[in-house]
A and B are shown apart, each in its own frame.
Chain A
Amino acid sequence: MATASSGTAVVTLPTDTQILITRDFAAPKHLIYKAWTTPELIKRWWSANRGEVILAEVDLRVGGKWRYVMLADARCFPQASPGAGGVEVGFHGEYREIVPNERIVSTEVFEGAPEAEAVDTLTLTESGGCTTLTILVQHQTTEHRDMHIESGMEAGLQDALDLLEGVAISLDGDTKSPS
């Protein structure tokens, strides 16, 4: 059912260390902001039906922390230990700048690769009831940026990549450096 309208998100790599994601929504920006920042609502979309968000903590103030943990469907992780009900995938960060309904700057760390901290800038621009959402992911190095996208290319792990929005480096983290 998700196929009819797919294909509207645009991903570009503006510089060697950035990823830019752009997507239009037929909704006012305050509702997107609400869905983006309200824990009960985050739990309903963030895993994109490929697992369950078991934790969504949002301390929405500058210097406040956020943390999401998803229990990923074991079927999406062929490398997960057999019999496991799922794989826990955690992300966290800190809010650096908040303009309600318009802009959030926060750090983002995938807990399987804690050295690769990125800074994400979310912007929402509304025009005539439609909202353009952009996420600029600023990595510290090209290697981190590339890993962020690249790791999902590993054979047989396409599903996991989808699940992890390209932060599929997590699979490396899960198998090599359980923390």
Chain B
Amino acid sequence: MARAATTTDAFNAVAEPQRRQILDLLAAGELPVNDLVALLGLAQPQVSKHLKVLREVGLVHVRDEGRQRLYRLNGRSLKPIHDWVSNYREAWEERFQALEQLLEELKHDEENDHGNGE
């Protein structure tokens, strides 16, 4: 299965742990690049490179305010990823519900066994 280029696919963009860390930080609110650099403990060029990828897939938006570049999370672009995991979750939930019904039966069986003095 061919993988999309890092810069065209939100899934690949968030596959990188440091980029996920950036998104986590921005989830709390808008931040200037300098703050991100300080919080992440990475070199500025590295952070800028990650931000560029995130910007290109629309995961973050940027605006200039005076001499600062401010980055913020674009929640909407995370929806495909949320949906991606949701489908998987729902599939498991369906299976768990079937398991739950079976467990109710097993519980009753066990209670009856005890009721009959084993």
A79 interface residue per 8 A CB criterion: no
Q: Of B38-46, B56-64, B66-74, B81-89, which binds chain A?
A: B81-89
A177 to chain B, nearest CB (A): 11
CA A165 to CA B98, docked complex, whole Å? 13
- Residues of A contacting B91 in the complex (Cβ-Cβ under 8 angstroms): 48, 152, 161-166
Q: What is the interface of chain B mostly: helix, strand, loop, or mixed?
A: helix
Indicate if the CB atoms of A153 and B1 lie closer than 8 Å.
Answer: no
CA A175 to CA B81, docked complex, whole Å? 26
Number of contacting residues on A, CB 8 A?
48
Indicate if the CB atoms of B107 and A45 lie closer than 8 Å.
Answer: no
Which residues from 80 to 132 on chain A have a C-beta closer than 8 Å to any C-beta of chain B?
Answer: none
> A27-B107, A31-B107 given as contacts; is B98 within 8 A of A13 (CB)?
no
- Residues of A contacting B103 in the complex (Cβ-Cβ under 8 angstroms): 25-27, 31-32, 35
Indicate if the CB atoms of A32 and B99 lie closer than 8 Å.
Answer: yes
A155 interface residue per 8 A CB criterion: no
- Residues of B contacting A19 in the complex (Cβ-Cβ under 8 angstroms): 88
Interface centre among B83, B91, B94, B97 (most CB of A within 10 A): B91
- For A60-74 the 0/1 string (1 means CB < 8 A from B) is 000000000000000
Indicate if the CB atoms of A44 and B102 lie closer than 8 Å.
Answer: yes
> A2-B94, A16-B17, A162-B94 given as contacts; is B85 within 8 A of A149 (CB)?
yes
A8 interface residue per 8 A CB criterion: yes
Residue of A nearest to B101 (CB): A45
Kindly list the 5 A-B residue pairs having the minimum CB-CB distance in the complex, ordered from nearest: A166-B88, A45-B98, A11-B89, A27-B103, A48-B95
Given contacts A49-B98, A149-B84, A151-B1, 17 further A-B contacts (CB under 8 A): A6-B90, A7-B93, A8-B96, A16-B17, A25-B96, A27-B107, A31-B110, A45-B99, A48-B98, A50-B94, A146-B11, A149-B87, A152-B91, A153-B87, A162-B90, A164-B91, A166-B91
Please give the residue numbers on chain A whose beta carbons come within 8 Å of chain B beta carbons, in ascending order.
Answer: 2, 5-13, 15-16, 19, 21, 23, 25-28, 31-32, 34-35, 41, 44-50, 142-143, 146-147, 149-153, 158, 161-166, 172
Please give the residue numbers on chain B whose beta carbons come within 8 Å of chain A beta carbons, in ascending order.
Answer: 1, 3, 11, 15, 17, 83-85, 87-104, 106-107, 110
